[in-house]
Amino acid sequence: MLKSGFKSGADNVVMLHKTVPQVAQELHACIGCNECLLACPAATESITIDVLNRETLSGPISVPVARFARSCYQCGACVAPCPVGLHRDAMMMWLKVRMLRSGWSE
Amino acid sequence: MAAINQRERNNGETGYNWPFFVSGEGWYKRFLVIFLGVSVGGVFFVWYIQHSNDVSPDSIAGYTYAIIGTLFLLLAAVSYSLKRRSHKKKTVGQLHSSLNWHICFGVLGLVFLFLHSFGNFNPRTGTYALYGMIALALSGMIGRFLDRLVPRLITGEVHKALTVMGDDRIETISQKLQAIVVHNTQDLHSFAVVPGEKSQDASTSMVSLSGPVSSDFSFIHKDQALQTPWDLAYISLEATPQELSLEANHYRFIPDKKSALVHPGALMPGAQEHISELQEVEQAMQRELFYRYIIRYWRKFHILLALLTLALTIWHLVYAGQLLLPVLLHR
């Protein structure tokens, strides 16, 4: 009924954000190879992919993960190296939205 | 205070504030390198102009500055690009460190090439190359600023485009809108429908009720409303759905010329609000896309400027070589 006028999927222009069910699906599909973190120019300290995956969707966010989310600048360098074609930038975006909302509720 | 600490323990880190700065050991190291480089170059510059008569870009000091500046710029250009594209085993944080060195070498290169000019900004190849380098360094600085600002703007827009539970708001609003339309269409079906007007929209059907009502009910089908005998004894004392809706502020059962019900879409209470909400979400998504383009294309712009600066520098080197080579060959 309603068309937003945005392309998605394999098209050139992809909306950055994904819904929580999509993020959950991608997190579930993550094989934990760490390639996204290795390709990230914003990651300053060593955080593990399983901690990042665990804290992305729900629950408390630890200081290193929050620091990483704040320094991430959505350049998309993490997407290309993923061997299973996941979108870490979209996962990070949900983490940022969570942080933004939690900051507002304080 | 204890309550705040307890809450922090329960909720973890909160907030996505804009003035965020990561300071670490690496940052201090690079700042120290820039400070030392600029200090050494500056002190030598001051000492040289006080003790020498030849203060031009093609003096010995000028050439020294040019060589050092070019080396720094080459290091800035090559180190990060190669590190990013290399397939060697990297560790987490290595690229960030490499990016910081890229900035450090870029700043040092610009400073040394600025000193190489010795204040000569004649419209020659060297000046154009220097302008290119200044533009390149500025685009890098603006890029770093955008890296901080734009993701926060994107997050704000995504916050608008997703529900509290993280679902697509467009989908949710569309479903609500669909439910309103279905609900109001069903309400209208309880009225007598004139044959041939079944496909009319809700507003038109309601407005038609305000006209003179025919007493001839022969066209009414058997399965439609007003089938029962029209007798007062059959009138129920219970409120009909239409009467219940009278409680709503937006609902006026008998529309007149002044009534809002005569306007198209008046029979869809809440629909307009949902449509405007939908437009807001769409605008938020458009802005998100725009910010995404800024991040993507600013990098491309920076790379283009780097290529342009490289071309201008090569042009300047060729020009300088044409002047230098005959002098060197005659010695």
pLDDT at B192 exceeding the cut of 60 = no
Average pLDDT over chain B reads 77
CA atoms within 13 A on the CB side of A98: 25
What residues of chain B lie within 8 A of the CB of A102, using their CB?
11, 14-15
B93, B282, B295 member nearest A4 (Cβ) = B282
Residue of B53, B154, B109, B131 whose CA lies nearest to A94: B154
What pLDDT does residue B11 have? Answer: 55
Which residues span the domain enclosing B311? Answer: 25-84+94-155+298-330
pLDDT band at B243 (very low <50, low <70, confident <90, very high): low
Dihedrals phi, psi of A61, to nearest 5 degrees: -105, 125
Higher pLDDT: B150 or A45? It is B150
Higher pLDDT: B235 or B110? It is B110
Listed in sequence order, the DSSP H helices in B120-168 are: 125-161
Structural domain contains residue B65: yes
B20, B92, B288 member nearest A37 (Cβ) = B92
pLDDT at B257 exceeding the cut of 70 = no
- Tell me whether residues A73 and B148 touch, CB distance under 8 A: yes
Structural domain contains residue B183: no
How much is the ipTM here? Answer: 0.83
Structural domain contains residue B144: yes
Sign of the alpha-carbon torsion through A8, A14, A19, A23: positive
Helix or strand (DSSP H, E) at B81: helix B60-85
Structural domain contains residue B41: yes
What residues of chain B lie within 8 A of the CB of A32, using their CB?
none
pLDDT at B217 exceeding the cut of 70 = no
Q: What DSSP character marks residue A44? A: -
> B91, B155, B159, B280: best mutation site toward chain A, by most A Cβ within 10 Å?
B155
Give the C-alpha separation, B164 to B155, whole Å.
14
pLDDT band at B270 (very low <50, low <70, confident <90, very high): confident
**What's the rounded mean pLDDT across residues B272-291?**
88
Higher pLDDT: B14 or A53? It is A53
Q: What DSSP character marks residue B58? A: T
Structural domain contains residue B54: yes
What residues of chain A lie within 8 A of the CB of B24, using their CB?
44
Residues 6+ apart with CB under 8 A from B221: none
How many domains in chain B?
A: 1
A73, A97, A103 member nearest B14 (Cβ) = A103
What pLDDT does residue B255 have? Answer: 55
- Tell me whether residues A96 and B162 touch, CB distance under 8 A: no
